[in-house]
Amino acid sequence: MTAARPPGPRDRLLGLRLVGRVKADPLAFYTGMHREYGDAVYMRFGPYRDFTFFHPDAVREILVEKARQFGRFQHPIRVLRQWNGDGLLMTDGELWLRHRRIIQPAFHPSRFPGYAGLMAAAARDHLDRLAGEVEFEREMTDLTMDVATRTLFGVDLGADRADLARVMKVLNAVAMKEFTTPFLVPRWWPGQGEKKWAIRTLDGVVRRIIRDRRASGEDRGDLLSMLLRATDEEGDGKGLTDEQARDNTVGLFLAGHDTAAAGMLWVGWFLASLPEVAARAAAEVDEVLAGRDPTFADLPQLKYVERVVKEALRHRTPTIGVFGRQALQNVEVGGWAIPKGGLVRVFSWVTQHDPRWFPDPEKFDPDRFAPGRAEAIPPGAYFPFGMGPRVCIGNTFAMTELVLLTAMLLRRFTFAPAPGQGEPVPVAGMSLRPAGGLRLVLGLRKSGH
């Protein structure tokens, strides 16, 4: 194993200047590191030796081939655990495996027609009220929250919806701040009022829904019904406690809603800014659906719409990378020696904009994912949902939602940027959002109803 370290910037203040640059603009920082130093970059962040890899082969080594030699870096996990608890998204080892076995049946293909029906019903209620100039980011955030609550909880949250929307904003802001601090900010610390309110509100809503569902014993065909009924048949034969159901429900709700909203708002921008893409996608929707809303059975026929979604996830990936990993032992990646305890990072934002894997990467080209071209994309070059054992458990659910909602939008509307709406600048938070929001003009299509 070679002892040499990859090239990278030096900071005599143990990386404090580098941390400041990451906080200011992580997209520009990591893109610049790749451009200046290549596919492997070494940095020092305080006590941590940090290795960032951009090549698809290294991505696969870390996330797939040598996944067991890495654990997730615990500081960001500790931050999120303050409100996510110990569900699937927060745990490792045997507890993670048990949660995964129990939750996996909720994402069995047999349940997707039902989920798609709930998604379509939520979209109908929301989209039928839209037309003209809209705050598209806000509308997609509201819509995907409605989808999440119907598919996960089987309920319309009504008065709780506004509170949960505020909860999302507060907790996302808290997370981004505390990710870059060396310690958790305790709830008793001055200025933590909003954080305490958000955690308390989220906890109260979810626990009430679980309590009511346990009492009724009803199976509404939603994810919560599956979580409460499932058991670990390969393990102890038991199901989730109410506390474990709460933690997993919160995790699935927060992660799924936020990234779906980000994905949809970027899809909307590309449809608005590229009329030829929108026209081709709308023509496919008209041909396949013939004036009706899509069902799950229609989705395989919406091939170009699916490619539009995939290209949006490449060009403006909702999460710019996966959680950092920490080496559990001395390990080699891409020929470089990673010492035990070293941090390892991969960023889909950078790899998915590399012209070696995606020629003319700033061009929005859905046909990159067409048969005959998709096969040329190296494994590890495209990973909006992660890869390997910890690939997002809801990746098929998310693609179903994004393709179905895109088709329903295309059936009803034409898209154009609102007056004064320029090219949106992406900003990395818990999900990738446009600075200042996104305003579009939605015109009613004559063939839309």
Longest CA pairwise span in the chain (Å): 66
Q: What is the pLDDT of residue 447?
A: 55
Residues 416, 443 contacting (CB under 8 angstroms) = yes
No. of helices (H) and no. of strands (E), the chain:
15, 12
Indicate whether 188 pLDDT > 90.
no
Determine the Cα–Cα distance for residues 151 and 116; give it in Å rounded to an integer. 9
Pairing of strands 325-327, 70-72: antiparallel
Determine the Cα–Cα distance for residues 47 and 403; give it in Å rounded to an integer. 44
Query: For residue 366, what is the DSSP state?
Result: G
Residues 6 or more apart from 251 whose CB is under 8 A from it? Answer: 84, 85, 87, 88, 89, 90
Q: Which of 234-243, 367-376, 431-440 has the lowest mean pLDDT?
A: 234-243
Amino acid making up residue 43: M
Cβ atoms within 10 Å, residue 240? 23
- C-alpha 330 chain-centroid distance: 30
- Give the CATH number of domain 16-444; options: 1.10.10.60, 1.10.630.10, 3.30.420.40, 3.30.70.260: 1.10.630.10
- The pLDDT of 261-280, averaged and rounded, is 98
Determine the Cα–Cα distance for residues 239 and 227; give it in Å rounded to an integer. 8
Tell me what the pLDDT averaged over the chain comes to: 91
Amino acid making up residue 446: K
Amino acid making up residue 29: F
Distances (CA, A) of 284 to 267, 273, 281, 402: 16, 19, 5, 16
Query: For residue 326, what is the DSSP state?
Result: E
pLDDT category, 104, cuts 50, 70, 90?
Answer: confident
β-strand partners of 326: 71, 343
Q: Which of 36-45, 209-218, 355-364 has the lowest mean pLDDT?
A: 209-218
Determine the Cα–Cα distance for residues 63 and 122; give it in Å rounded to an integer. 35
What does the chain come to in residues?
449
pLDDT category, 448, cuts 50, 70, 90?
Answer: very low
- The pLDDT of 286-313, averaged and rounded, is 97
- The pLDDT of 131-151, averaged and rounded, is 93
Q: Which of 138-147, 157-166, 225-234, 239-248 has the highest mean pLDDT?
A: 138-147
Estimate the crossing angle of helix 193-216 against helix 160-179, to 10 degrees: 130
- The pLDDT of 191-208, averaged and rounded, is 91
Indicate whether 387 pLDDT > 80.
yes
Residues 260, 399 contacting (CB under 8 angstroms) = no
pLDDT, tens digit, for every residue of 105-118? 888 888 899 999 99
Determine the Cα–Cα distance for residues 345 and 321; give it in Å rounded to an integer. 8
318: helix, strand or coil: coil
**pTM confidence score:** 0.93
Determine the Cα–Cα distance for residues 37 and 13; give it in Å rounded to an integer. 20
Q: Vertex 353, ends 53 and 32: CA angle to 5°?
A: 60
The tokens of 16 are what? 């404090």
Q: What is the pLDDT of residue 449?
A: 46
